[in-house]
Amino acid sequence: MQRLTNKHHLPSIESSRIAQSIGMALDRFIKNNQSQFQYASGELSQLLRDIALASKVVNREVNKAGLIDIMGAVGSQNTGGEDQQKLDVLANIRFSRALEKGGEVCALISEETESFVDLNNEGKYVIAIDPLDGSSNIDVNVSIGTIFSVYRRKSPAGTPIQPQDILQKGSEQVAAGYVLYGSSTMLVYTTGHGVNGFTYEPTLGEYFLSHPSMRIPDEGKIYSINEGSSNSFPKAVKEYIQLCKDKNYTARYIGSLVADFHRNILKGGIYVYPATAKNPNGKLRLMYECNALAFVAEQAGGAATDGSGRILDIQINDLHQRTPFYVGSKNMVEQAMRF
């Protein structure tokens, strides 16, 4: 079995420094911690701010989603004069626009577009994004999320984007995170120096540090899997689920990856989306769903695997490549691997 655990344990002095920053606004936090980045020129900080800004706009759209049909019925347009669109499409437009205008990103990979988008600029970063994940929950007022991964481009700035800029392994991410549009909206991210969570205060329009130096418990009692598909799970997965039942674990499955993952990070648990008859390579996408959450999980002391090795080490051959996904508390993931 390959090494699954996180080697970057946050030194306790560092984590207590961050703990003292609780309540700090996201902008200030990013600025204060900018020197941690390997390339501390400010562009990555600006990119994170662009993501935060776009997420606030998407949050606004998500919150009024229930009104869209009503407004649509009277032929309403949004403030930009566009016709009301489906939320996932809208979220893609909001994030793409913010990242394009920001200028730090030279190429965009999105669940919503077949190929990557070359932004033809001098940007140093490549971003892979699932603008609004949890398609089955979008129209029914259940938590949904945005997932993002950030890479350094490899070819010289200002030249056309090359395959080596796009097809980078998860271990090459320089930042990753997610936004959870839930009972509160949260932005959680890592730049490889631990994981920090920020809660959105809508009346002030700001994210504030609420979950400093997040650590996922090594052990947990929650398992999250779509058991409705269990007839077509591999035998080992069926046996693992039986073990969860024998141990009286709690089953929790929202069907929005970000929400299930976030709960398990806070409480301890495992999220599993295995290979099934319908999706022999798993359902979830490596580039804009699994890699980001694997990076966050490892940085929080957890683990992520495809059942045979570390998610972050998987070679990328295709933008929309799928993978089985086991992520969460270190001991639970290791135990699942033993099956």
* Interface stretch with ligand AHM, choices 62-70, 157-165, 167-175, 254-262 (CB under 6 A): 254-262
In contact, 319 and 111? CB cutoff 8 Å:
no
- Say if residues 287 and 316 touch (Cβ distance below 8 Å): yes
- 93: helix, coil or strand? helix
Q: Where are the alpha helices (DSSP H) in the chain?
A: 12-19, 26-32, 43-63, 68-73, 87-102, 135-138, 163-166, 235-246, 257-267, 291-299, 330-338
- How many CB atoms are located within 10 Å of the residue 193 CB? 17
Q: Where are the alpha helices (DSSP H) in 103-212?
A: 135-138, 163-166
Q: Which does 283 bind (CB under 5 to 8 A by kind): ligand AHM, Mg ion, none?
A: ligand AHM
256 binds, among Mg ion, ligand AHM, none (CB under 5 to 8 A by kind): ligand AHM
- Give buried/exposed letters for 209-247 (b at 16+ CB in 10 A, else e): bbbbbbbbbeebbbbbbeeebeeebeeebbebbeebeee
| The binder of ligand AHM chosen from 94, 283, 310, 322 (CB under 6 A) | 283
Contact by Cβ (8 Å): 144, 132: yes
Asked if 256 is part of the footprint of ligand AHM (rule: CB under 6 A), the reply reads yes
For residues 161 and 272, which CB has a smaller minimum distance to ligand AHM in the complex? Answer: 272
Site for ligand AHM contains 135 (CB under 6 A): yes
Instruction: Select from Mg ion, ligand AHM, none the partner in contact with residue 103, using the beta carbon and a kind-dependent cut-off of 5 to 8 Å.
Output: none
Binding mask 114-143 for Mg ion (x = CB under 5 A): ----------------x--x----------
Among 78, 226, 321, 335, binds ligand AHM (CB under 6 A): 226
**Among all residues, whose Cβ is closest to Mg ion?**
133
Position 136 contacts ligand AHM (CB under 6 A): yes
- Nearest to ligand AHM of 21, 135 (CB atom): 135
- Scanning 33-41, 155-163, 242-250, 252-260 for contacts with ligand AHM by CB under 6 A, the matching segment is 252-260
Residue 88 within binding range of Mg ion, rule CB under 5 A? no
Select from 104, 133, 165, 298 the one that contacts ligand AHM (CB under 6 A).
Answer: 133
Q: What is d(CA 96, CA 337) in angstroms, rounded to the nearest whole number?
A: 37
Using the contact rule CB under 6 A, the part of the chain among 4-12, 129-137, 158-166, 188-196 near ligand AHM is 129-137
Count of residues that interact with ligand AHM, criterion CB under 6 A:
10
- Judged by beta carbon, residue 50 or residue 133, the one nearer Mg ion is 133
Closer residue to Mg ion in complex, CB, 287/336: 287
Residue 136: name its binding partner from ligand AHM, Mg ion, none (Cβ under 5 to 8 Å by kind). Answer: ligand AHM
The neighbouring-strand residues paired with 105 are 125
Bridging pattern class, strands 269-273 and 325-328: antiparallel
Q: How many CB atoms lie within 10 A of CB 71?
A: 13
Q: How many other CB atoms are found less than 10 A from the CB of residue 279?
A: 15
Contact status: 121 vs ligand AHM (CB under 6 A): no
How crowded is the C-beta side of 194, counted as CA atoms within 13 Å?
A: 20
**Closest listed residue to residue 339, CA positions, set 220, 221, 231, 240:** 240
Q: Which does 5 bind (CB under 5 to 8 A by kind): ligand AHM, Mg ion, none?
A: none
Q: Determine if 291 is a binding residue for ligand AHM (CB under 6 A).
A: no
Chain positions contacting ligand AHM, by CB under 6 A: 111, 133-136, 226, 255-257, 283
